[in-house]
Structure 1
Amino acid sequence: MTIATTLRSDAEIQSEVLSELKWEPRVQATEIGVAVKDGVVTLAGFVDSYTKRWAAEEAARRVRGVKAVANDIEVRLSAGGERTDPKIAAAAVRALQWDAVLVPEKIDVTVSKGWLTLRGTVDWQYKKHEAERVLRNLAGVKGVSNLIEVKPKAEPAEIKKQVEQALVRSAQTDAGRINVEVDGSKVTLKGTVRAWVERQEAERAAWRAPGVMTVDNRIVVSP
């Protein structure tokens, strides 16, 4: 098979992103515009919740051939969806306190015009993601800036071993095509994969390893 037949055109990617948006139950595809240039997808439009904005980006990233996503979708809450910043802050604090994964982590929350900013320190990267996840669906939220720091304790050799084992276990990645390098608490991923979702899963696997503070994903998508 020649390279010309394996590469996907921007028009093909755009068509499949639109189809994926229609398939995604959390969004209304008619609210979202899709443009593609050199494999980079730009999403635009207006939605009535931050959840929809996030879901649209996830849907686009699932499509084979997508190299990156620029999410320009704006959240415009309906009159009934608006909440004051103090009410959003109180709901956010309760949500974090009730999440068993985050106990007893201390995470600070500030709210400005519906936009949440998270600060604090956790020992695992997945806890940082969990904090954002539990707040993403709160009523009135227009966006989340996750500034939580990850400060774990782990040896580089152990980090490398954990990441490599996670890649082997994953059904979505071909571990033999991915090289893992570790410098302190920084993981660098190199290699070639067939789809963006495989690249994304490799990065997710690296972030799950205890001790990882930075992931430099240099994996190339080559369908």
Structure 2
Amino acid sequence: MKSDTQLRTDVLAELDWDPAIKTATVGVTAKDGVVTLTGHLGSHAEKYAAERAAQRVKGVKAIAVEINVKLPAGDERTDADIARAVEHALEWSALVPDGKIKPMVEGGWVTLTGEVEWEYQRRAAENAVRTLMGVTGVSNTVKISPKLSASEVEKKLREALTRQAQRESERLQIGVSGSQVTLHGLVHSWAESRAVEKAAWSVPGVTSVANDLIVLD
């Protein structure tokens, strides 16, 4: 098990290694595997990159993000400008179904609503707008319309886990209630936890995934 000092050092090194992040403005603390990121960054894309960088570090069990997005002078945009850019980004994304997602912008914060059939479409919409200039945050409230029964969801999920995360699948307990999936069990790293969760989201009809997996030291 890493000490808090070593974990903090490793997270700082990972942040420094990622060219998309200005580490001078990010503070890091660690306690019992929980990492807290503080400070301010110049875009929502940079904040997201910092979160993902911390998640990659072995030994991280949870992350608290207390980073504010502070746009540099000259990068500010009106909500109307951002809304138009968001509309165009959604229209130009080949993965986002036409007319299914509605954006709203307030204070630079983008909220996405609507309904799609697949999780990858929901994520594609978020990815399309996250890096736009002037965006300070994204709330993705797009829903997934279920297409399968609970038994079909569980069957397809176990098949997906066998293909994508075979080592983890042997130690997992999967609960399915309607189109909602709950994951229990032990994994060896945050990356493995993410892989199992990704496999669950890959099943058509899944509308929510509760990841209760425990990361071993």
Of all paired residues, the percent bearing the same amino acid is 45
Counterpart check, 1:45 vs 2:49:
no
Alignment of 1:68-147 (within 5 A): 68-147=62-141
Residues 65-111 of structure 1, C-alpha deviations (whole Å, 9 max, x = no match):
11111111111111221111101000100110111111234211111
Counterpart check, 1:216 vs 2:194:
no
Output the TM-score relative to the length of structure 2.
Answer: 0.95
SS of structure 2 residue aligned to 1:120: strand
Coordinate RMSD, CA, aligned? 1.5
2:155 maps to a residue whose letter is K
More off after superposition, 196-205 vs 84-93: 196-205
What's the CA shift for 1:149? 1.2
Number of residues of Structure 1 aligned to a counterpart in Structure 2: 217
1:135 maps to a residue whose letter is V
Residues 12-38 of structure 1, C-alpha deviations (whole Å, 9 max, x = no match):
211111111011121022221101122
Equivalent residue, structure 1, for 2:199? 205
Residues 117-143 of structure 1, C-alpha deviations (whole Å, 9 max, x = no match):
111111112211111111000011000
Aligned partner of 1:168 among 162, 168, 171 = 162
Aligned-partner Cα distance in 1 for 2:177–2:136: 36
Aligned-partner Cα distance in 2 for 1:64–1:105: 41
2:203 maps to a residue whose letter is A
Output the TM-score relative to the length of structure 1.
Answer: 0.92
Equivalent residue, structure 2, for 1:16? 10
Aligned-partner Cα distance in 1 for 2:49–2:166: 20
Is the alpha carbon distance of 1:23 and 1:173 closer, same or farther for their aligned partners in structure 2, counting shifts above 3 Å? Answer: farther
Is the alpha carbon distance of 1:173 and 1:18 closer, same or farther for their aligned partners in structure 2, counting shifts above 3 Å? Answer: farther
1:96 maps to a residue whose letter is L
Aligned-partner Cα distance in 2 for 1:34–1:216: 27
1:47–1:53 CA contact under 8 A, matched in 2:
yes
